[in-house]
Amino acid sequence: MTEYKEIATPSRTKEILKKHGFSFKKSLGQNFLTEPNILRKIVETAGINSQTNVIEVGPGIGALTEQLAKNAAQVLAFEIDDRLIPVLEDTMSPYDNVTVVHQDVLKADLVTTVAETFREEYPLKVVANLPYYITTPIMMHFLESNLDVQEMVVMMQKEVADRISAKPSTKAYGSLSIAVQYFMEASVAFIVPKTVFIPQPNVDSAIIKLTKREKPAVEVTSEKEFFKLTKAAFQLRRKTLWNNLIHYYGKDEETKAWLTKSLEVAGIEPSRRGETLSLEEFARLSNQLEANKV
């Protein structure tokens, strides 16, 4: 194989963009990383080896894809921008273990595409530099799919990474923290400065590592109702749990009686704020709401 200069160097990135006459689309949140060491660190954090299959979202011109291809068994990359498909055909030509799918990952039938793409049933990981404007929907799409994703190592805005990994009684803790931590153990691996991207974004990024739990963090009667409750509890950040619950579920006497009884049996003070409740407390309350339904 011919030795190529790594895609993620500033000079090679500019050369590729110029060759293909590519211009950035702000609406797609395109920021390309131009520091190969950071990409190698991402691959290392994800523990990618020759017996790992990887899904990437938004490969861009292939900077991270290249590093994944060098280490993984196979790489499946979803790219929404049709202008990048010929670019990736060019930059990924040295690697026969990369499949690029021109599709919006949120509309993809992940289970079918994965079954059709990967030859070996190796552990599956998601590694990606996620577009900022759509980070949460993409992550939830994977978490709620029936794919057996062992681990996700993804780059996102530092602020979002802080929210995902937040603990109760902190400013960043909210329904997103709970939704992700219900399925995965979350921790921020390292920070990526905004200076290593072109074009340069306004904020720093973070690499977050999410490891799938053997079973969800808490036992709930209904996942759907549990997530409804956690969203309700954070609707109005400065309000008490009680105010949020009646705002969401209703203010009639029957609903108030149902909420009062459920809170009481769950041992949760209505005057508390949503951000002080742990996953266990939310699970207890959710299960009581289900049990006391009229």
Q: Where is the binding site for S-adenosyl-L-methionine, in residues?
A: 31, 33, 58, 79, 104, 129
For residue 12, give every residue at least 6 positions away whose Cβ sits within 8 Å of its Cβ, in sequence order, or none.
5, 6
Residues annotated within a binding site: 31, 33, 58, 79, 104, 129
Would strands 184-192 and 205-212 be described as parallel, antiparallel, or unpaired? Answer: antiparallel
CA angle 30, 32, 33 (to 5 degrees): 145
Query: Taking every pair of C-alpha atoms in the chain, what is the biggest distance, in angstroms?
Result: 74
How far, in Å, CA of 258 to CA of 270, rounded? 13
67: left (phi over 0), alpha (psi -120 to 50) or beta: alpha
User: Tokens 């039938």 label which residue?
Assistant: 109
- CA 217 distance to own-chain centroid: 17
Number of H helices, E strands in the chain: 12, 9
Q: Which helix (H) or strand (E) covers residue 99, if one does?
A: strand 98-102
Query: Of 55, 65, 152, 59, which is closest to residue 111 (Cα–Cα)?
Result: 55
For residue 51, give every residue at least 6 positions away whose Cβ sits within 8 Å of its Cβ, in sequence order, or none.
73, 120, 122, 123
Radius of gyration of the chain from Cα atoms? 22
